Copies of this chain bind each other. A is one copy, B any other.
Amino acid sequence: MTTNAERRRPGRPPGTSDNRDRILETARELFARNGIDKTSIRAIAAGAGVDPALVHHYFGTKQQLFAAAIRAPIDPMTVIRPLRDVPVERIGHVLPTLLLPIWDSEMGKGFIATLRSLLAGSDVTLIRSFLQEVIAAEIGPRIDSPRGTGRLRVQYVASQLLGVVMARYILELEPFASLPVEQIAETIGPTLQRYLTGELPGSV
Q: Which residues of A contact B (CB under 8 A)?
A: 116-117, 119-121, 124, 127-128, 131-132, 151-152, 155-156, 158-164, 166-168, 170-173, 175-176, 179-180, 183, 186-188, 190-191, 194-195, 200-202
Contacts and interface: CB of A to CB of B under 8 A. Distances in A.
Contacts of A170: 119, 124
A176 B152 contact: yes
8 nearest A-B pairs in the assembled complex, by CB-CB distance: A163-B163, A120-B120, A186-B201, A183-B202, A159-B163, A155-B176, A159-B167, A162-B163
Contact of A116 (B119, B162, B176, B195): B119
B171 A151 contact: no
Q: Which of A171, A179, A180 has the most chain B CB atoms inside 10 A of its CB?
A: A171
A164 to B, nearest CB: 5
Contacts of A172: 124, 128
Nearest to A199: B187
Contacts of A117: 120
B183 A156 contact: no
A190 B183 contact: no
Nearest to A191: B191
Contact of A201 (B167, B183, B195): B183
A161 B168 CA distance: 14
B119 A173 contact: no
Contacts of A168: 159
Given A163-B163, A163-B166, A173 B202 contact: no
A34 B21 CA distance: 42
Nearest to A180: B202
